[in-house]
Amino acid sequence: MDRTATDLEIANLTKRYGDTVAVDSISHRFAAGSYVCLLGPSGCGKSSTLRMIAGHETVSDGDIVLDGQMIAQVPAAKRKTSMMFQNYALFPHLTVLQNVGFSLKMRGEASAARDAAAREMLDLVDMRDFAARFPSMLSGGQEQRVALARALITKPSVLLLDEPLSALDPFLRDRMRAELRRFQRELGITFIHVTHSQTEAMALADEVIVMNAGTIQQAGPPREVYAKPKTAFVAQFLGGHNVVKLADGLISLRRDKVQLTTGTDAKVEAAVTGIEFQGAFVSLSARGMGDQDFHALLPEEAFFASPVSLGQTIGLTWAPEASHRLTQ
């Protein structure tokens, strides 16, 4: 098979914990130098997948191929992967510089060489001035940068990040999100970032992999997955869609493409059950076509030009390209 140097591939990768199948024979090829988000609800197997790639969890079945080599049985420290943990896991009794240089110490590198390498990494994340501090003297965002520097010091080809932004407050989270993307571009290595937030995945990823119950539901560029979710699960989990049961199957329908109509082009007659002002949009809920819930995201000005009220029967319509068939 033709592979560039740092392509990563998983094949029929499986993780069982006793009777629980946490990861159920998933296969995927990660393009070298891409930002990939593993997205799915809690318990769907994201962390188990990441830990198997990192070598922190044994593989029950299947293969991991990096750089043309099968690495499923290779110890974590000998892989070209590195992991940044959810809670950063910095050593409280070591300084920032010592934390960052820790892996090199384990590899037996002399202190002058590892301090120099650690300073270089601290430069990269703009933390050189904090080298002598202890982790307890850092803010959340600073801790995260130190954890990133520590994970990068071994010069991995693949950086694995497990919910790296979840410990931060919303303001800092948005800032660090942009920084992660910038670091990935500068380094040119593959980032695999686990998250349960669809906005985070869509904002960051070149490719998003949506998981559910240990399986990959769909993978692709975020815009493509958002425009054409394959399954009801993907449409519902990404948000922004209606999932509608028709007589001959299921469709997904973008909420921002549903329009109100008083004309004969109405596809559904529905009773308004909710109206929420959201700033640029008004989110309207209505029940029709049996007992199905429809949601429309209407531009604020258009809604208030001819508002409707709770309980009112309205007509809903959409262009044919706003909807498409779901496979399950």
Positions in 120-149 near ligand ADP (CB under 6 A): none
Task: Say if residues 92 and 43 touch (Cβ distance below 8 Å).
Answer: no
By beta-carbon proximity to Mg ion, the closer residue of 142 and 166 is 166
Q: Does 46 bind ligand ADP (CB under 6 A)?
A: yes
Q: Does 220 bind ligand ADP (CB under 6 A)?
A: no
Q: Does 47 bind ligand ADP (CB under 6 A)?
A: yes
Q: Does 44 bind ligand ADP (CB under 6 A)?
A: yes
The tokens for 304 are 């208030």
* Helix, strand, or coil (residue 230): coil
Tell me which of ligand ADP, Mg ion, none is bound by residue 309, counting a contact when its beta carbon lies within the kind-specific cut-off of 5 to 8 angstroms.
none
* Interface with ligand ADP: number of residues (CB under 6 A): 11
Q: Does 48 bind ligand ADP (CB under 6 A)?
A: yes
Q: In what order do the strands lie in the sheet with 8-17?
A: 20-30, 8-17, 61-66, 69-70
By beta-carbon proximity to Mg ion, the closer residue of 165 and 251 is 165
Task: Say how many CA atoms lie within 13 Å of 212 toward its Cβ.
Answer: 12
Q: Out of 2, 19, 42, 279, point to the residue binding ligand ADP (CB under 6 A).
A: 42
Q: Does 17 bind ligand ADP (CB under 6 A)?
A: yes
Positions in 206-235 near Mg ion (CB under 5 A): none
* DSSP conformation letters of 29-76: EEPTT-EEEEE--TTSSHHHHHHHHHTSS--SEEEEEETTEE-TTS-G
Nearest approach in angstroms of CB 45 to ligand ADP is 5
Q: Does 47 bind Mg ion (CB under 5 A)?
A: yes
Q: Which of the stretches 41-49, 231-239, 288-296, 311-319 binds Mg ion when contact is defined by CB under 5 A?
A: 41-49
* C-beta neighbour count of 94 within 10 angstroms: 15
Beta bridge partners of 26: 13
Radius of gyration of the chain (CA): 24
Q: Does 4 bind ligand ADP (CB under 6 A)?
A: no
Nearest approach in angstroms of CB 196 to ligand ADP is 7
Nearest approach in angstroms of CB 304 to ligand ADP is 42
The b-or-e profile of 127-152 (16+ CB within 10 A means b, else e) is beebbebbbeebeeebbbbbbbbbbb
Secondary structure element (H or E) that encloses residue 260, with its range: strand 259-261
By beta-carbon proximity to Mg ion, the closer residue of 211 and 282 is 211
Q: Does 235 bind ligand ADP (CB under 6 A)?
A: no
Q: Does 198 bind Mg ion (CB under 5 A)?
A: no
CA of 233: how far to CAs of 89, 213, 229, 305, 326, in Å?
33, 11, 9, 35, 10
Q: Does 193 bind ligand ADP (CB under 6 A)?
A: no
Kindly list the residues in this chain that would bind Mg ion in the complex (CB under 5 A).
Answer: 47
Kindly list the residues in this chain that would bind ligand ADP in the complex (CB under 6 A).
Answer: 17, 20, 22, 40, 42-48
